[in-house]
């Protein structure tokens, strides 16, 4: 695995949400879940050609999706925020990979801070570290993903795992990963995963 650059805590809504096919009216984007910035409030620029493709998929569909059928707004995509996940770094890395003349398989990872406007409890904080991994190749299946996750968590000493189907706007199929927590005496979510949409 090669480490992805994740040195920007401030991210545009475009890379944090839009490029990951999360609709602009999704509840996770409101101020109850996201820390939006006032200065600078907007990203100065977005990749023009790619932004137009993202807009089209949201508004009209494409790549096997019917889209969300709403009026996608550039002003919303330009809003700056404290990133809510490191998947924005994965979106940027996959965008760079797609622009290469010849595709070559890659494995990326990152470990970095993310920020969410959460109610604090034993399993939720406003700031925490997220581990991110991306494998890009042809012919990969959900079985490959589950095997990789099982191996990763086993190496951390976490062996009691359960996989549960989930919904993510940017992956299909998607799974949450749970581990039994002896101290809390319950199953807690330790990860989220999925196969990126085209």
* pLDDT tens-digit readout, 101-122: 999 999 999 999 999 988 888 7
Residues 66-79, mean pLDDT to the nearest whole number: 96
CB atoms within 10 A of CB 20: 21
Query: b vs e for 100-133, b when ≥16 Cβ sit within 10 Å of the residue's Cβ?
Result: eeeeeebebbbebebbbeeeeeeeeeeeeebebb
Residues 75-101, mean pLDDT to the nearest whole number: 95
DSSP tag of 45: -
Report the candidate in 53, 44, 48, 132 with the shortest Cα–Cα distance to residue 88: 132
CB within 8 Å of 119: residues ≥ 6 apart: none
Listed by start position, the domains of the chain span 2-138, 141-197
Pairs from 27-31 (Cβ < 8 Å, separation ≥ 24): 28/84, 31/117
Topology (CATH level 3) of domain 2-138: BirA Bifunctional Protein; domain 2 (3.30.930)
What pTM does this model have?
Answer: 0.88
User: Distance (Å, rounded) from C-alpha 2 to C-alpha 109?
Assistant: 6
Residues 147-170, mean pLDDT to the nearest whole number: 94
**Mean pLDDT computed over every residue of the chain:** 93
CB within 8 Å of 144: residues ≥ 6 apart: 135
pLDDT (0 to 100) of residue 32: 67
């Amino acid at each position: 695995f090669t480490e992805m650059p994740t040195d920007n805590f401030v991210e545009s809504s475009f890379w944090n949400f839009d490029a990951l096919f999360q609709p602009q009216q999704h509840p996770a984007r409101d101020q109850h879940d996201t820390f939006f910035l006032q200065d600078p409030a907007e990203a100065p620029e977005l990749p023009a050609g790619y932004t137009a493709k993202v807009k089209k998929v949201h508004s009209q569909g494409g790549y096997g999706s019917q889209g969300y059928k709403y009026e996608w707004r550039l002003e919303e995509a330009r809003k700056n925020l404290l990133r809510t996940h490191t998947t924005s770094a994965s979106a940027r890395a996959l965008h760079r990979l797609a622009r290469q003349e010849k595709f070559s398989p890659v494995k990326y990872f990152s470990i970095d801070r993310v920020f969410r406007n959460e109610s604090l409890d034993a399993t939720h904080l406003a700031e925490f570290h997220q581990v991110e991994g991306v494998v890009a190749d042809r012919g990969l299946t959900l079985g490959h993903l589950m095997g990789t996750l099982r191996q990763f968590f086993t190496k951390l000493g976490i062996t009691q795992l359960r996989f549960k189907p989930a919904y993510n706007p940017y992956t299909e199929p998607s799974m949450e990963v749970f581990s039994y927590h002896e101290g809390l005496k319950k199953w807690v979510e330790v990860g989220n995963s999925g196969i990126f949409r085209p």
